[in-house]
Amino acid sequence: MRDYCLKTIVRGAIVCGVLGSRDLSGYRQGWTGARHARLPVRQHHRRSDPFYLGPSPYRTKYAQAKAALAELGIRHIRDSVGNTSANAVFRDLGNNLGVKLCAVVDARTGSGASTRLANSQIAATLSRAKSQIGTTILKAIEGPNEYNQLERDYGYQGWAQELRSYQTELRRQVKADPVLKSLPVIAPSMADPMQASYYTKLGNLSGSIDRGNAHVYPNWLSWDQKIKQVTPYARISAPTQPIWTTETGWHMAFNSGAQWVPEDVLIKYLPGRWQRSSPLLAWNEPMSTNSLIRRPTPIRPRRLRISA
């Protein structure tokens, strides 16, 4: 079953999204670009998260994960800049499969309620990205992942000020680096993106981002329905910038209390729903594994083969 899950995670990802050329409320519509998907090398601050699925296949079944990515032609992934062993995975995928990385720079200290962003560690994290992953493999730099969880889970009210300061410093350092300055800097993502109060507290980030960000989980809706609901909230922090969705998908967390689908339904639901939906930009997270997906041509029926 684990082998089947690994394949279906990747297979479910590759047929689900596209990036195109015409602007639609900050999203680009059409068929162009390169195929993208991602399985995480490590989970980000999710040990207490009901969506946490345990150790990543990158750690437990890397050879199979790499083979699946190669078979599907996936060429872009999204994950946090990690430690030496995690970064070695990105480097290997880049050198051997031509995979590019959207690198999340999320430097923190502490844990749980005492978690805090660490501006002082941004430089070291960017340095690891350059030296351990390689500048030719980096495709974009993304801000911290769902830092507003500290208010939701622990009532911490200082998160927005911290996050604004961190994002400002992150973009400053990226644009001051002669190697990294050409990379787009993506806004930090928000948990509970349908809560306008989080974006309002964070404020307009135009001076510290090149792209907006929205995590979109349609549950039992189609993706284009959900993105239209989320967009007005994301626009509070990114009023004019193109918005990238760096997590999305239909999840299988049956114990979460949310609208979940079983694996066999997910693998059928993803390609069918996305094919009937508007072909909008998607960074997909099927089954709680982050994936960026873009398709260069319309998906033909033979591309929808999803058997294990």
Q: Is residue 82 part of a domain?
A: yes
Range of the domain at 208: 2-300
Q: Is residue 78 part of a domain?
A: yes
Q: Is residue 114 part of a domain?
A: yes
The predicted pLDDT at position 197 comes to 95
Q: How many CB atoms lie within 10 A of CB 37?
A: 33
3-state secondary structure of 276: helix
3-state secondary structure of 22: strand
Q: Is residue 251 part of a domain?
A: yes
Q: Is residue 292 part of a domain?
A: yes
Reported as a pLDDT band with limits 50, 70 and 90, residue 272 is low
Q: In which residue are the tokens 């410093």 written? A: 169
The predicted pLDDT at position 156 comes to 97
Nearest to 164 by CA among 139, 140, 199: 199
Least confident piece of the model among 16-25, 80-89, 144-153, 292-301: 16-25
Reported as a pLDDT band with limits 50, 70 and 90, residue 234 is very high
- Total domain count, the chain: 1
Q: Decide if 18 contacts 30 (C-beta within 8 A).
A: yes
Q: What percent of the chain has pLDDT over 90?
A: 48
* 3-class SS letters over 209-259: CCEEEEEECCCCCCHHHHHHHHHHHHHHHCCCCCEEEEEECCCCCCCCCCC
The predicted pLDDT at position 242 comes to 94
Q: Is residue 307 part of a domain?
A: no
Q: Decide if 35 contacts 294 (C-beta within 8 A).
A: yes
Q: How many residues does the chain have?
A: 308
Is residue 99 pLDDT above 90, yes or no?
yes
The predicted pLDDT at position 301 comes to 29
Is residue 249 pLDDT above 80, yes or no?
no
* pLDDT, tens only, 130-175: 999 999 999 999 999 999 999 999 999 999 999 999 999 999 999 9
Q: Decide if 283 contacts 28 (C-beta within 8 A).
A: no
Q: Give the amino acid at 267.
A: I
Residue of 57 and 112 predicted with greater confidence: 112
Question: In CATH, what number is assigned to the domain containing residue 50?
Answer: 3.20.20
Is residue 18 pLDDT above 50, yes or no?
no
The predicted pLDDT at position 270 comes to 63
Angle between helices 84-97 and 62-72 (to 10 degrees): 30
Is residue 16 pLDDT above 50, yes or no?
no
What token pair was written down for 295?
Answer: 């398709």
Dihedral of alpha carbons 65, 67, 68, 73, sign: positive
Burial of 129 (0-12, 13-18, 19+ CB in 10 A): buried
User: Regarding beta strands 100-104 and 138-142, do their DSSP bridges make them parallel or antiparallel, or are they unpaired?
Assistant: parallel
Q: Is residue 306 part of a domain?
A: no
CA 187, 12, 80, 23: dihedral to nearest 10 degrees? -20
Reported as a pLDDT band with limits 50, 70 and 90, residue 76 is confident
Task: Supply the DSSP string of 176-194, one letter for each residue.
Answer: HSTTTTTSPEEPPP-SSTT
* pLDDT, tens only, 169-207: 999 999 999 999 999 999 999 999 999 999 999 999 999
Q: Is residue 305 part of a domain?
A: no
- Non-local (6+) Cβ contacts of 153 within 8 A are 48, 113
